[in-house]
């Protein structure tokens, strides 16, 4: 079952924190597949924000799920949560057509520098793509993970988007600590 929840998180780190909190409240392993989803303005009656989805095993009862979500969401959004944003997150996750995958099997093994083939073999990532390239990189190309790997669902596959890095290597396109827009002149 895919559970969706939306506390109106304004930032990706906020949503990731919420996702990790729900995983912890449910007592699930850290490699349970959990995603964040961008919710556009108006889709949930408010400003653009980030919702979450989580693949929940059948052993988790609806009552346990409700209690975990209530505990996690009460601190995040005292007024309640958005059903529309949660529904969008579930639909994207179920169809594997959208969402940043934050927690997934093998995530903890993707540290340092790995070859593309090793990265796929060590995790649930199905494919690696190089931005602005007609095809995937060869299996022996080195990936500098920066200890921050966030694949996305694309075409039904868990896909890591990468970009060129120094020395003929590649690195995930999403960087761990991006510079906020206007940081140098605000």
Please, are residues 84 and 45 in contact by the beta-carbon 8 Å criterion? yes
Cβ-based burial of 167 (10 A; exposed 0-12, middle 13-18, buried ≥19): exposed
| Residue 46 pLDDT | 74
| Residue 183 pLDDT | 55
| Residue 78 pLDDT | 43
Sign of CA dihedral 86, 91, 96, 99: negative
Separation CA 186–CA 175 (nearest Å):
22
Separation CA 155–CA 136 (nearest Å):
14
| Residue 120 pLDDT | 98
Query: 12-26 vs 62-76: helix axis angle to the nearest 10?
Result: 140
Alpha-carbon 143 to chain mean position: 19
| Residue 182 pLDDT | 59
Strands 100-103 and 142-144: unpaired
Under-50 pLDDT residues of the chain: 44, 78-79
């Amino acid at each position: 079952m895919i559970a969706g929840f939306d506390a109106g998180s304004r930032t990706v780190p906020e949503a990731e924190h919420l996702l990790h909190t729900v995983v912890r409240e449910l007592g699930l392993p850290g490699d349970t597949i959990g995603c964040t989803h961008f919710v556009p303005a108006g889709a949930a009656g408010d400003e653009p924000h980030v919702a979450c989805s989580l693949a929940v095993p059948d052993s988790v009862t609806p009552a346990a799920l409700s209690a975990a979500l209530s505990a996690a969401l009460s601190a995040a959004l005292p007024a309640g949560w958005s059903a529309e944003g949660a529904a969008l997150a579930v639909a994207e996750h179920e169809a594997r057509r959208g969402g940043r995958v934050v927690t997934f099997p093998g995530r903890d093994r993707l540290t340092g520098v790995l070859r593309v083939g090793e990265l796929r073999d060590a995790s649930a990532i199905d494919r690696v793509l190089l931005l602005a390239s007609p095809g995937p990189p060869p299996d022996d190309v080195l990936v500098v993970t920066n200890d921050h790997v966030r694949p996305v669902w694309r075409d039904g596959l868990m896909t890591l988007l990468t970009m060129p890095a120094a020395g003929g290597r590649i690195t995930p396109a999403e960087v761990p600590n991006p510079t906020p827009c206007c940081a140098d002149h605000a």
